[in-house]
Structure 1
Amino acid sequence: MSVRERVIAIAERWIGTPYRHQGAREGVGCDCLGLVRGIWREIYGGEPELVPPYASDWAERSGEERLLEAAIRHFGPAIDMAQAEPGDLLIFRWRPGCAAKHAGILAGPERFIHAYEQAAVVRSVLTPGWARRIAAIHRFPEI
């Protein structure tokens, strides 16, 4: 099974996990970063790096691109949307000029899996509204 196939299979298992800010445990609770961390742990065997506590509005307050910078550190350079394949990491920016602060997993040509605030990990349609908010796409590294 390829890394991308594993990413999707793991993400699908997390569907229904309740949303919990800073959580990262399948079936217990997670936020969008926790979902990505859980997938990473299962594939690579540990946390990519220590994640300090963060507020739900951390990106607005700091103005730093911490999520994008961490993605480059661990996943490598971003890829073009035309190259995106199921199993790739999607990073979203809510508004132009604001730091990127949401992540999900591309699960098909028009679907992605993410931890939806105040709900759970869900599979959503990648509508034009979501697609235009994509700030970067990264591929999980091969083992």
Structure 2
Amino acid sequence: MVPAQGVIELARSYKDTPFHHQGRQPGVGLDCVGLLACAFQAAGVPIRDRTNYPRQPIPADMLDALREHTERVPKRASWLPADVLWMHFDEPQHLALYTGRSVIHAYAQVGRVVEHRMDATWMGRVVSVWRHPGVSHE
């Protein structure tokens, strides 16, 4: 098991990395999937990364990938640090890492990896929450 804090600290270390569709190089370019793939893999959490997706993600494909690696968290009160948030803008198409108080994600609209608090606007974007079984929360 990998400590949740280890995944979060790795993701934090990627802040300010430029947004790049299908990017998988911290410090050079990441997208929302690449941020999570790099942080989880670098922490030692096994995942199979996918890069064969269009710029406008297909929600059904994202859901399939989430189901392959993670388990759905049923209630807001049970969210834990290092859970993956599946979010929507027009439709479900974005992933972020929950830290317990904030969210870390590669945000195309600002062009880089950012961390900010989970305010009401961002909470309203959450479609579902997912947890990797290889992450410990002790």
SS in 2 for 1:65: helix
Structure 1 distance, partners of 2:3, 2:61, is 25
2:132 equivalent in structure 1: 140
1:35-50 equivalent positions in 2, closer than 5 A: 35-44=35-44, 47-50=47-50
CA displacement 1:6-41 (0-9 Å, x = unmatched):
111111111111111110111110000110110122
1:18-97 equivalent positions in 2, closer than 5 A: 18-44=18-44, 47-52=47-52, 54-59=53-58, 64-95=59-90
Cα distance, 1:2 vs structure 2: 4.9
Is 1:121 aligned with 2:120? Answer: no
Task: Mark the CA change 1:38 to 1:77 in structure 2 (over 3 Å): closer, same or farther.
Answer: same
The structure carrying a bigger strand percent of its residues is 2
Task: Mark the CA change 1:142 to 1:47 in structure 2 (over 3 Å): closer, same or farther.
Answer: closer
Task: Mark the CA change 1:41 to 1:133 in structure 2 (over 3 Å): closer, same or farther.
Answer: same
**Number of residues of Structure 1 aligned to a counterpart in Structure 2:** 134
| Structure 2 runs not aligned, ≥5 long | none
Structure 2 distance, partners of 1:2, 1:36, is 14
Cα distance, 1:114 vs structure 2: 0.3
1:17 equivalent in structure 2: 17
- RMSD after superposition: 2.1
> Structure 1 vs Structure 2: percent identity of aligned residues?
27
1:104–1:114: 8 Å Cα contact kept in structure 2? yes
The amino acid across from 2:55 in the alignment is S
Cα distance, 1:49 vs structure 2: 4.1
Structure 1 distance, partners of 2:93, 2:82, is 19
Q: Which range is displaced more, 39-48 or 85-94? A: 39-48
Cα distance, 1:79 vs structure 2: 3.5
The amino acid across from 2:12 in the alignment is E
TM-score by length of 2: 0.85
TM-score by length of 1: 0.82
Cα distance, 1:56 vs structure 2: 1.8
Cα distance, 1:115 vs structure 2: 0.3
